[in-house]
Amino acid sequence: INCGVDTLHFKPTKETYKSRVFKIICISAFEKRKGIQYLLRALPEIEKRVKNVQLKIIGEGDYITEYYAIIKRLNIEHLVDIISPVNDTKQYLLESDIYVLLSKGEGFPLGVLEAMSCGLPCIVSNLSPFNEIMNESTGLMVERKNIDSIVNAITLLQNKERRKEIGEKARERVV
């Protein structure tokens, strides 16, 4: 387990990534306790409220079959891109608008801290240890099984100024 985040590497860039797509990223092992299934189940409603939304999931694991089944059942193939793990997630984080991890239990959520260090607002579950890492000014905590809670948080972060403000405070917290 790493001892922290390299804030000189994981940092916002001065270049603004210009895209008409609202990009959500989740970097996680594909395990039931990570909660990706709840994010997938929220995606149809998110698509109704957020124009041009896309979810990128980076990871691997045994639960991938379940994720593909959910994606197919909900007919959201056009919204989800699943890719294998990468050595350096920085570019993917910088290309994204928000980071989501709805995990039930984490030791040291390095991915969340790297996202925060890049200035990304994060949406996490309202379970430990996230309450030790962030507060209402540095990210949003949701009831992981409550689809409306997830949808409302993501909809709230459509606002670019709100994302920027939360992202800046998140970076300050990690630094």
Instruction: Please give the pLDDT value at position 2.
Output: 58
Instruction: Please give the pLDDT value at position 77.
Output: 98
Tokens of 88: 């350096």
User: pLDDT 10s per residue in the chain (175 long)?
Assistant: 457 899 999 999 866 555 789 999 999 999 999 999 999 999 999 999 998 999 999 999 999 999 999 999 999 999 999 999 999 999 999 999 999 999 997 877 889 999 999 999 999 999 999 998 899 899 999 999 999 999 999 999 999 999 999 999 999 999 9
b/e per residue, 106-127, with b = 16+ CB within 10 A?
beebbbbbbbbbbbbbbbbbeb
Instruction: Please give the pLDDT value at position 108.
Output: 79
The predicted model scores a pTM of 0.94
What's the rounded Cα separation, in Å, for the pair 7 and 104? 26
